[in-house]
């Protein structure tokens, strides 16, 4: 299948600034996301879809490609997010490399930014393909504008090929996935599908139905600041307490030393002076029991520090962020099976593995809508070395169409 407007559509999307902002309390967290969603709404209207709604309370854009048969086929949903990660998005200038030669890629000659084979051996998988890269100064935004492009192109293809029977196909584009808040407000019941897929994975073939259980631990430290010349017996240095907290964490349970199903503690942020400080960790584990044990460790750590100082020098704010969607999807494995079969029928080897992170599907699955995650095709997300192959995006779009076809064959 060919998608003649795919490249132009994707290039237009990524040039549209839509980064989210964790420090914001609005929905969505940035006004640019509203602008992008409004633009997408106009494009969906041009495709003559039904039930097009941009909900200005949760800022999800939803639409329907109506069933073209009276047969009782499943109602399927496809979901992507419009925001991009916390990296420079000013002046995104994607580069298109046709028939990539497999060698080092000079992203920015002036700044000497090179994506080398030595550092990124995965480049060898893309020789002869059409690569879309950054100019070495911004991210690309394939996470998740590749996913949006694939969904729109699939819906366009299906609307132009009415001979492909299908039930209602619902699509949703939402904000603030990168800061973990967008799906909090998703109307899963109103979406009215039997199951859904997020198009938000990485390399060709990824199919994920397990995610981390996730929490954030914020340690708020209150010290006592006095003149250092007369500090004996009086000063409590919040910066030193911050360092004590950090030293108490297991040294090998960190992102850079873990993989697969292994959980971790990640020191995400710290700021301090003598008077006060704040240390923020994120806690991750696929295993629920280990996740709970990690949270207990954090609580006990605070108790030990406060006992040592004989007063409450540390307050803990511990909040859950999302849970392992595998707990829900394991009872609905036919959803994973249809995606797996779609890939296999297309000659794509499924890569079924746990997500070392979360997607909107992590939360949506717990809303009663099983939502595994399918590859969008990009690599090296969230930075200047991000890229995607046009052919990977085309294959992701093929998977969407094939899932629809398989649903009609069941």
Domains of the chain: which residue ranges? Answer: 6-210+324-409, 213-322
Strand 61-65 versus strand 195-201 pairing type: unpaired
pLDDT of residue 330: 96
Catalytic status, residue 83: yes
The whole-model pTM stands at 0.92
pLDDT of residue 362: 93
pLDDT of residue 96: 98
Strand 314-322 versus strand 213-222 pairing type: antiparallel
pLDDT of residue 14: 98
Q: Which fold has domain 6-210+324-409?
A: Aminopeptidase (3.40.630)
Note whether 6-210+324-409 and 213-322 share their fold. Answer: no
Give φ, ψ of 64 to 5 degrees: -130, 135
pLDDT of residue 182: 86
DSSP state of 223: -
What's the distance, CA 209 to chain centroid?
A: 13
The pair of structure tokens assigned to 341 is 């079969």
pLDDT of residue 410: 76
Q: Which of 83, 144, 360, 398 is catalytic?
A: 83
pLDDT of residue 177: 95
Q: Which of 168, 177, 285, 321 is catalytic?
A: 177
Q: Which fold has domain 213-322?
A: Alpha-Beta Plaits (3.30.70)
Catalytic status, residue 321: no
Determine the Cα–Cα distance for residues 97 and 91; give it in Å rounded to an integer.
Answer: 19
- Helix (H) or strand (E) holding 217, with range, is strand 213-222
Q: Which residues contact 56 (CB under 8 A, 6 or more apart)?
A: none
pLDDT of residue 409: 87
Q: How many CA within 13 A on the CB side of residue 4? A: 1
Whose structure tokens read 């995104």? 92
pLDDT of residue 359: 83
Low-confidence ranges of the chain (pLDDT < 50): none
The answer to whether 244 and 306 have CB atoms below 8 angstroms apart is: no
pLDDT of residue 303: 98
């Amino acid at each position: 299948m060919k998608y003649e407007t795919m490249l132009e559509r994707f290039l237009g999307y990524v040039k549209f600034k839509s980064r989210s902002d964790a420090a914001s309390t609005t929905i969505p967290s940035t006004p640019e996301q509203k602008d992008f969603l409004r633009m997408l709404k106009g494009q969906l209207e041009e495709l003559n879809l039904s039930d097009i709604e941009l909900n200005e309370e949760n800022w999800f854009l939803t639409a329907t490609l109506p069933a073209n048969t009276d047969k009782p086929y499943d109602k399927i949903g496809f979901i992507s997010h419009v925001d991009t990660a916390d990296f420079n998005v000013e002046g995104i200038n994607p580069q298109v490399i046709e028939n990539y030669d497999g060698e080092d890629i000079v992203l920015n000659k002036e700044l000497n930014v090179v994506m080398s084979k030595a550092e990124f051996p995965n480049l060898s998988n893309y020789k002869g393909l059409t690569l879309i890269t950054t100019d070495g100064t911004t991210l690309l935004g394939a996470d998740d504008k590749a996913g949006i492009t694939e969904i729109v192109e699939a819906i366009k293809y299906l609307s132009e090929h009415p001979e492909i029977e299908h039930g209602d196909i619902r699509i949703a584009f939402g904000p603030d996935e990168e800061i973990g808040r967008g799906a909090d407000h998703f109307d899963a019941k109103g979406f009215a599908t039997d199951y859904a897929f997020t198009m938000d994975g990485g390399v060709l073939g990824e199919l994920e139905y397990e995610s981390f259980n996730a929490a954030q631990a914020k340690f708020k430290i209150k010290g006592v600041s006095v003149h250092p010349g007369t500090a004996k017996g009086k000063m409590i240095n919040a910066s030193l307490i911050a360092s004590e907290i950090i030293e108490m964490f297991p040294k090998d349970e960190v992102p850079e030393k873990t993989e697969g199903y292994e959980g971790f503690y990640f020191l995400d942020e710290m700021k301090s002076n003598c008077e006060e400080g704040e240390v923020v960790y994120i806690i991750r584990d696929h295993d629920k029991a280990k996740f709970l044990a990690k949270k207990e460790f954090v609580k006990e750590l605070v108790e030990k520090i406060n006992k040592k100082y004989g007063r409450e020098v540390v307050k803990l704010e511990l909040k859950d962020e999302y849970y392992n969607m595998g707990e829900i999807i394991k009872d609905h494995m036919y959803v994973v099976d249809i995606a797996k079969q779609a890939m296999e029928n297309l000659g794509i080897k499924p890569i079924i593995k746990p997500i070392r992170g979360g997607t909107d599907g992590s939360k949506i699955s717990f809303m009663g809508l099983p939502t595994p995650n399918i590859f969008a095709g990009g690599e090296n997300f969230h930075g200047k070395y991000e890229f995607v192959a046009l052919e990977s995006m085309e294959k992701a779009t093929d998977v969407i169409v094939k899932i629809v076809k398989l649903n009609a064959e069941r």
